[in-house]
Chain A
């Protein structure tokens, strides 16, 4: 900071304190040697990190979470990119209504969505737990995909597509060779946003997880209901570190400014 306003500096420090303070407490507790969550830790140990692997459900649910997040995000893009394109380019009748429907999973509380999906897909429809979970996650991340890609398309001039068409490129191919390469930043951003949303989701998952199929956040939730040791803190540190490493990798390969365009 250049010769700043001291009041502003204090204010910013306070914001950082509130943002990062809890993270610091979690991180510190993760390295505690005691058998329950404590801060400051009275002794240091890595045993709770080892315990993550000892509880096999963590790894199992992590893999389910990963599968659901990757598949759900992919599906949301497969549905969301054409939907966003259609909404932005053609005068679809009732465009406003369609737009409202596409964001509705954000408006409808996750609890309601999760419950209705459980009731109608799983219980009545007989759809297996994993597939129902996948449908649920696709639905919750779809609005994010559509929103991010729509804003990306809004900045992309229709005349550029017409230029390609006038040069002999058919409409469908224009989408792949001209539109897609120019909105790939939006697609990447949508992917990351949808992926993280899916990985973190609790309200929908809590209804849709069943015997043998659970996601990591749900597993973490049920773990803290039964155990009070710092394993969850250690796991949180691992998750935060993984995410940070992921962002670092993206920054190195694509540059974060790439998403800020």
Chain B
């Protein structure tokens, strides 16, 4: 199975530059997601890989071979669309058989391979049904079977689960992951859904405004975002401007503009330029006003409270600005209560502020 390489891809729609010098490498057999909000260029990237969109410059390589100018029908990539894009005039069997027939595969073998694939996706019983008469989930299974049966070098997904309801989405993503591992196909998967993306990917590419902000394992993206954008994207809501004041006790010593001291673990490298500390709402401990003088303590008062179902979320007014903090269910604080926030050293992520 091959490795996909994108080198310095620039792409645009008309005068609208979408991708700028995009580099990406998808290793053999890996499941890589492109994650980002709409308009970030993730679908554009996928269309460049598929060959539906010609890049302005840069190269697409598969196992070192140049695919940049190869027409999309000669790439041999499976593409699964958000809208399923089944052939409305054909039944399930003929939809799946389409790619094999283009390849002039012998009749008997077409029959055998299509039936086999329908078995794999659990649609054998629907083989003669018209694609129009299927449910959303069934349609996406047909689309999946249709893309897999040609034994593609690369499998491309464009938001394949967005049109399905929540329960089916979870079921289908497990199915997609299972099939991808069973056939060991290098996969590029576009989505805007974080949970979906983290749950099925080997690696995740977070995109913003046509560039890659971070390319890493899902766990790392979640715990060690590389930029303020990624941090916000994965749920960090509190940011502090900090200055680095050296190391002590094996920890970075940091100070905010108002003199509040923070600590952060030394395994983090200090980015150059302005420094930003990021903390998740659930990482901050919330308690009654009581100062001990330890690092990471912030005094504040509750400005706003919302109920989340498994606890409360507070907006706390502090000298460092309004902070978002999640608290326990028991004995909730009321608006106006004075409190002390504690940021544990190992929950503070240090970022360079662009």
Q: A residues touching B (Cβ–Cβ < 8 Å)?
A: 91, 157, 159-160, 162-171, 178, 181-182
Q: Known contacts A162-B52, A162-B81: does B76 contact A168 (CB below 8 Å)?
A: yes
The residue in chain B whose Cβ has the minimal distance to the Cβ of A181 is B89
Q: Contact at B146–A159, with CB atoms within 8 Å?
A: no
Q: Contact at B150–A168, with CB atoms within 8 Å?
A: yes
List 15 additional A-B contacts (Cβ < 8 Å) besides A164-B87, A168-B102.
A91-B14, A159-B83, A163-B85, A163-B143, A165-B52, A166-B156, A167-B98, A167-B99, A167-B146, A167-B150, A168-B74, A169-B98, A169-B102, A171-B73, A182-B87
- Chain A residue numbers with a CB within 8 Å of B81 are 159, 162-163
Q: How far is the CB of B244 from chain A (nearest CB, A)?
A: 51
Query: Total A-B pairs in contact (CB under 8 Å)?
Result: 64
Q: Known contacts A166-B73, A168-B150: does B102 contact A182 (CB below 8 Å)?
A: no
Interface centre among A168, A181, A182 (most CB of B within 10 A): A168
- Chain A residue numbers with a CB within 8 Å of B147 are 166-167
Q: B residues touching A (Cβ–Cβ < 8 Å)?
A: 14, 50, 52, 71-79, 81-83, 85-89, 98-99, 102-103, 143, 146-147, 150, 156
Give complex CA distance A168, B97 in Å. 12
- Chain B residue numbers with a CB within 8 Å of A178 are 87
- Chain A residue numbers with a CB within 8 Å of B74 are 168
- Chain A residue numbers with a CB within 8 Å of B52 are 162, 165
Give complex CA distance A227, B209 in Å. 78
Q: Contact at A166–B50, with CB atoms within 8 Å?
A: yes
Q: Contact at B102–A167, with CB atoms within 8 Å?
A: yes
Q: Contact at B98–A166, with CB atoms within 8 Å?
A: no
Give complex CA distance A163, B156 in Å. 11
- Chain A residue numbers with a CB within 8 Å of B71 are 170-171
Give complex CA distance A168, B98 in Å. 9
- Chain A residue numbers with a CB within 8 Å of B146 are 163, 167
Give complex CA distance A170, B71 in Å. 9
The residue in chain B whose Cβ has the minimal distance to the Cβ of A184 is B89
Interface of chain A: mostly helix, strand, loop or mixed: helix
Give complex CA distance A206, B85 in Å. 49
Give complex CA distance A180, B75 in Å. 24
Q: Contact at A182–B77, with CB atoms within 8 Å?
A: no
Q: Contact at A163–B79, with CB atoms within 8 Å?
A: yes
- Chain A residue numbers with a CB within 8 Å of B85 are 157, 159-160, 162-163
Q: How far is the CB of B61 from chain A (nearest CB, A)?
A: 19
A–B Cβ pairs within 8 angstroms, 21 of them: A157-B83, A159-B82, A159-B83, A159-B85, A160-B86, A162-B52, A163-B79, A163-B81, A163-B85, A163-B86, A163-B143, A165-B73, A166-B77, A166-B156, A167-B73, A167-B98, A167-B146, A168-B76, A169-B102, A171-B71, A182-B88
Q: How far is the CB of B346 from chain A (nearest CB, A)?
A: 47
Give complex CA distance A142, B99 in Å. 36
Q: Known contacts A168-B103, A169-B102: does B73 contact A163 (CB below 8 Å)?
A: no
The 3 closest A-B CB pairs, nearest first, are: A167-B99, A168-B102, A159-B85
Q: How far is the CB of B152 from chain A (nearest CB, A)?
A: 9
- Chain B residue numbers with a CB within 8 Å of A168 are 73-74, 76, 99, 102-103, 150
Interface centre among A157, A163, A165, A166 (most CB of B within 10 A): A166
Give complex CA distance A159, B47 in Å. 11
Give complex CA distance A157, B83 in Å. 9
Q: How far is the CB of B62 from chain A (nearest CB, A)?
A: 15
- Chain A residue numbers with a CB within 8 Å of B73 are 165-171
- Chain A residue numbers with a CB within 8 Å of B76 are 168
The residue in chain B whose Cβ has the minimal distance to the Cβ of A162 is B52
Give complex CA distance A171, B51 in Å. 12
- Chain B residue numbers with a CB within 8 Å of A164 are 87, 98
- Chain B residue numbers with a CB within 8 Å of A170 are 71, 73
- Chain A residue numbers with a CB within 8 Å of B88 are 160, 182
Give complex CA distance A164, B102 in Å. 9
Give complex CA distance A91, B15 in Å. 13
Say which residue of B79, B86, B99, B143 sits within 8 Å of A162 (CB atoms): B79
Interface centre among A157, A167, A168 (most CB of B within 10 A): A167
